Amino acid sequence: MQDIHNGISAGQLDGATWRKSQRSNSQGACVELARLDAATVAMRNSRDPQGTALIYPATAVRAMISALRSGDFDYLVG
């Protein structure tokens, strides 16, 4: 079993399928996500595909996406 930890190099996440939002812009400054297993999601900077990956529980990512959709963080960008 692979030792997955916060701060691991994204290149070391064997079998990770990275995806970014269909709404990403063409500038390449995007966050990409990969589901590692049923309970874990990794995030990385699309401009640095071998760089650091942040590892989160899937429940936390679900909560963040829900908050983004409802506008809870709109004050940060407007």
Parent domain of 22: 10-76
- The rounded distance, in Å, linking the Cα atoms of 20 and 4 is 21
Q: CB under 8 Å to 59, separation ≥6 — which residues?
A: 39
pLDDT of residue 38: 94
Q: Is residue 3 part of a domain?
A: no
Q: Is residue 5 part of a domain?
A: no
Q: Is residue 30 part of a domain?
A: yes
pLDDT of residue 28: 67
pLDDT of residue 27: 72
- Report the domain count for the chain: 1
Q: Is residue 4 part of a domain?
A: no
